[in-house]
Structure 1
Amino acid sequence: MKNYIKADEWNIIEEGFDPHLNKISESIFSLGNGRMGQRANFEETYSGETLPGNYVAGVYYPDKTRVGWWKNGYPEYFAKVLNAANWIGIEVKIGDEILDLSAAEVSDFKRILNMHEGYLERSFTAKLKSGKTVKVKSTRFCSIADDEVGAIRYSISALNFDGQLTLTPFIDGDVKNQDSNYDEKFWEAVNDEISENEAYLTLRTKKTAFEVCTGSSVQLFKNKEEVKFTAEDIRKEKFVGQTFSVEVKANDEITLYKIAANLSSENHPKASLLANCKSVIKNAAAKGFDALLKEQVEAWATKWQESDIIIEGDVAAQQAIRFNIFQLFQTYTGKDDRLNIGPKGFTGEKYGGSTYWDTEAYCVPFYLATAPQEVSKNLLVYRHKQLGKAIENAEKLGFNRGAALYPMVTMNGEECHNEWEITFEEIHRNGAIAFAIFNYIRYTGDQSYLFDYGLEVLIGIARFWKQRVNWSSDKQQYVMLGVTGPNEYENNVNNNWYTSTLAAWCLKYAKEAADIVKNQQPEKYNSLVKALNFDEAEFADWADIVEKMYYPVDEEKGIFLQQDGYLDKEQILVKDLPASERPINQKWSWDRILRSCFIKQADVLQGLYFFEEDYDLDTLKRNFDFYEPRTVHESSLSPCVHSILAAKLNDEARAYEFYLRTARLDLDDYNNDTEDGLHITSMAGTWMSVIEGFAGMRVREDKLQFNPFLPGKWKSFSFTIGFRGTTLKVQITENGINIKNSGSIDLEIGIRDQYYKLAGNAEIEVDNATLV
Structure 2
Amino acid sequence: MAAPYPEPEPGWAITWHSGDRLPRAVADAVLTIGAHGLATRGVAEEAPADARPVVLASGVYDRSVPGERLLPLPSWTGLDIDPAPAAWRQTLDLRTGVLTRTEAPVDHQRPLRTVRFVSAVRPGIVVLRAEATPGRVKPGDALRAYPGTPQAHRTFDGQYWLASAPGIAVAATHIQRDHDGVEVTERIAAYDTDGTARAEDLIAAVRRASEAGFDRLLTEHRTAWAARWTDAGVEIDGDTDAELALRYALFQLWCNVGGTTEAAVGARGLSGGGYDGHVFWDADVFILPAVASMAPDLARAMVSYRLHRLPAAKSAAAERGYAGARFPWESASLGVDVTPVTGDLGGETVAIKTGLWEEHITADVAWSAWHYARWSDDTAFLRGPGRQLLVATARYWTSRCRLAADGTAHIDTVIGPDEYHEGVSDNAFTNIMARWNLRTAAELVERATGSSPETRRWRRVAATLVDGYQPGTGRYEQFAGYFALDPLRIDAVATPPVAADVLLGRQRVARSQLIKQPDVLMAHHLLPDEPAPGSLVSNLDFYGPRTAHGSSLSPAIGASLLARAGRPDDALAELRTALRLDLDDVTGTTAGGLHLGAIGGCWQAVLFGFAGARVADGVLWLDPVLPSAWSRLGLRFGCLGRRVRLDIDHDDVAIETDGPLRVRLPGHADITVTTRARVALRTSQPRSTR
* Deviation string, structure 1 residues 608-654 (Cα, Å, up to 9, x no partner): 22222244554221111110100011112112222222122111222
Give secondary structure in 2 for the equivalent of 1:605: helix
Q: 1 CA distance for matches of 2:403 and 2:178?
A: 79
Could you list the per-position Cα deviations for residues 501-556 of structure 1 after superposition, in whole angstroms to 9, with x for gaps in the alignment? 1112211111101012226xxxxxxxxxxxxxxx9432233222112212334566
Relative to 1, partners in 2 of residues 1:518 and 1:192: Cα closer, same or farther, differing over 3 Å? same
Q: 1:187 aligns with which of 138, 150, 166?
A: 150
Choose from 44, 47, 59 the match for 1:42.
44
Note if 1:517 corresponds to 2:479: no
SS at match of 1:713: coil
Change (3 A) 1:389 1:260: same
C-alpha distance 20-615 of structure 1, shift in aligned 2 (>3 A): closer
Query: What does residue range 72-471 of structure 1 map to in structure 2 within 5 Å?
Result: 77-93=66-82, 99-101=83-85, 106-107=86-87, 109-125=88-104, 135-157=111-133, 164-165=135-136, 167-176=138-147, 185-189=148-152, 192-196=154-158, 198-204=159-165, 209-210=166-167, 212-224=168-180, 252-264=181-193, 266-269=194-197, 272=198, 274-333=199-258, 336-371=260-295, 373-400=296-323, 403-411=324-332, 412-419=334-341, 421-471=353-403
Measured in 2, the distance between the counterparts of 1:363 and 1:165 equals 43
CA contact (8 A) 1:748 1:755 kept: no
For structure 2, the 5+ residue unaligned runs are 1-7, 342-351
Equivalences for residues 44-83 of structure 1 within 5 A: 44-45=46-47, 51-62=52-63, 64=65, 77-83=66-72
Give per-residue Cα distances to partners, 1:561-580, cap 9 Å, x unaligned.
Answer: 11111123211111111459
Conservation of the 8 A alpha-carbon contact between 1:341 and 1:681: no
From the CA coordinates, give the structure whose radius of gyration is larger. Answer: 1
Shift of residue 307 of structure 1?
0.4
State, as a whole percentage, how many aligned pairs show the same letter: 23
Change (3 A) 1:770 1:477: closer
Q: 1:760 to 1:267 in 2, by over 3 A?
A: farther
Shift of 1:301: 0.6
SS at match of 2:169: strand
**For the structure 1 residues 487 and 7, does the alpha-carbon distance in structure 2 shift closer, same or farther, using more than 3 Å as the test?**
farther
1:741 aligns to 2:651 (yes or no): no
Match in the other structure for 2:677: 763
Per the alignment, do residues 260 and 172 of structure 1 end up closer, same or farther by CA in structure 2, a change over 3 Å counting?
closer
Distance 2:26 2:657 in 1: 41
State the one-letter code of the partner of 2:523: G
Which amino acid in structure 1 is aligned with residue 119 of structure 2? S
Q: Could you say what secondary structure the match of 1:78 adopts?
A: coil
Say which SS state the counterpart of residue 669 (structure 2) adopts: strand
Aligned equivalent of 1:753: 667
- The whole-number CA distance in structure 1 between the counterparts of 2:456 and 2:670 is 42
Q: Within 1, Cα distance between the matches of 2:529 and 2:186?
A: 56
Report the more deviating stretch, 535-544 or 620-629: 535-544
How much has 1:581 moved relative to structure 2? 11
TM normalised by structure 1 equals 0.82
- The CA distance in 1 between the partners of 2:387 and 2:283, in whole Å, is 20
Amino acid at match of 1:253: V
Tell me what 1:501 maps to: 432
Please, which of 457, 469, 478 is the counterpart of residue 562 of structure 1? Answer: 478
The amino acid of 1:88's aligned partner reads T
Q: Contact 1:443–1:699 (CA<8 Å) still a contact in 2?
A: yes
Q: Give 1 or 2: higher strand fraction.
A: 1
Q: Say if 1:261 and 1:573 are closer, same or farther in 2 by CA, change over 3 A.
A: same
Q: Which structure 1 residue ranges, 5 or more long, are not aligned?
A: 1-5, 65-76, 94-98, 159-163, 177-184, 225-251, 520-534
- Name the CA distance, whole Å, in 2 between partners of 1:152 and 1:585: 45
Distance (Å, rounded) in 1 between the aligned partners of 2:475 and 2:588: 34
In structure 2, distance between residues paired with 1:494 and 1:22: 44
The alpha-carbon distance between structure 1 residues 572 and 313, as it changes in their structure 2 partners (threshold 3 A), is same
- Find the aligned partners of 1:761 and 1:554 in 2 and give their Cα distance: 46
Structure-2 separation of matches of 1:579 and 1:315: 26
Change (3 A) 1:715 1:36: same
The Cα RMSD (Å) is 2.5
Q: Please list the CA deviations of residues 52-101 of structure 1 after superposition, one character each: whole Å capped at 9, or x if unmatched.
A: 4211222101355xxxxxxxxxxxx41210221111111123xxxxx345
In the alignment, the residues of structure 2 paired with residue 501 and residue 7 of structure 1 have an alpha-carbon distance, to the nearest angstrom, of: 46
**Structure 2 length normalisation: TM-score?**
0.91
SS of match in other structure, 2:92: strand
The alpha-carbon deviation at position 476 of structure 1 amounts to 3.9
Kept after mapping to 2: 8 A contact 1:200/1:213: no
What's the CA shift for 1:346? 1.4
| Counterpart residue number, 2:537 | 621
Q: Deviations over 1:28-53 (max 9, x none)?
A: 10111133111111112459x87342
* Cα separation, 1, equivalents of 2:219 and 2:402: 61
Q: Secondary structure of 1:262's match?
A: strand
Amino acid in the other structure paired with 2:330:
V
Tell me the distance in 2 between the aligned counterparts of 1:449 and 1:752. 30
The aligned residue for residue 344 of structure 2 is none
Amino acid at match of 1:641: I
